[in-house]
Amino acid sequence: MSINPFLVLILPFVVLGFLAQMWVRSSFAKWSRVGTMRGLTGAEVAATVLRDAGLSGVAIEPARGHALSDHYDPRTRTLRLSGPVYSGRSVAAAAVAAHEAGHAIQHAQRYAPLVLRNAAVPLAISADKVVGLLVMVGFMLMWMGAKAPALFLAAGIIYGVAVFFALITLPVEFNASRRAMAALTDSGVVVMQEQAGVRSVLAAAASTYVVAALMSVANMLFYLALARE
C-alpha cells in the first residue's frame, strides 16, 4: 500500500502552522493587556528606536489592516503599524513596533540577508505562479488517468526559489527581533519585569517564519515525490 505523500510531507506542517498562529495570537493578546511602565505608544516606541539608531526619514503611519498586519515598506521607507500597535501602550505593542523598526534599520544598513530577500521577491512571485500552473496541469492529467512526472519534477525544481526566499527570511526576522530586544532594553523603553513579555511576543512571531520555511521545503519535496508516482 502506497503512502500518500501529502499526509507525510504537508499535513504535519499545516498543523504546526495553525499552532504557531495560535501562539502568536494568544501571546499578543496576553501582553496587549499589560502596559509598559514608560507608557509609550507603539508609534513612539518605533520613533525612539529609530532615533537611537541615528536613523531619520522613516515615516511611521497607522495601517488600515487588522492586528498583526504590521510591516516595513522599504520602497517608501515607511513603518505601517496596525491600530493596536500604533496607539497601544502595551508590552506587545512595544515588541512589535521595535521589531518593525529593526527592519528599517536593516534596510538603512543594507543588511545582507535583507538585500538578498528583497532581490528574491520578484523571482519568488514568478516562481509561485509558474509552479501553480504546472501543478494544476499535472493534477488534471492525473485525474484523467495519465502521469505527469516531468511537470511535477519541474515544479519541484522551480519551487526551490520559494524555498530560498523562505530560508533567507529567517535570519532577517531573527536579526530584527534581536535588534528590537536590545533597543528596548538599552533605551529603557521596557524595564526588566517587561522583558519576558517582549521575548514571548517576538518568539511566537519567529515561530511562524520557522514553520513557513519548513513548509516550503515540504512543498518542494511533495512535488518531487509526485514526480516519482
Sign of CA dihedral 110, 114, 117, 122: negative
Q: What nine digits make up the cell of 52? A: 537611537
Q: How far apart are CA 39 and CA 219, in angstroms?
A: 44
Q: How many residues does the chain have?
A: 229
Q: 497607522: which residue's cell?
A: 62
100, 173, 194, 229: the active-site residue: 100
In this structure, what C-alpha cell is assigned to residue 79?
Answer: 513603518
Helix and strand numbers (H, E) in the chain are 9, 3
- Is 194 assigned a catalytic role? no
Per residue, the 3-state secondary structure of 77-101, as one string, reads CEEEECHHHHCCCEHHHHHHHHHHH
Q: How far, rounded to the nearest angstrom, does the alpha carbon of residue 170 sit from its chain's CA centroid? A: 8
Return the active site residues: 100
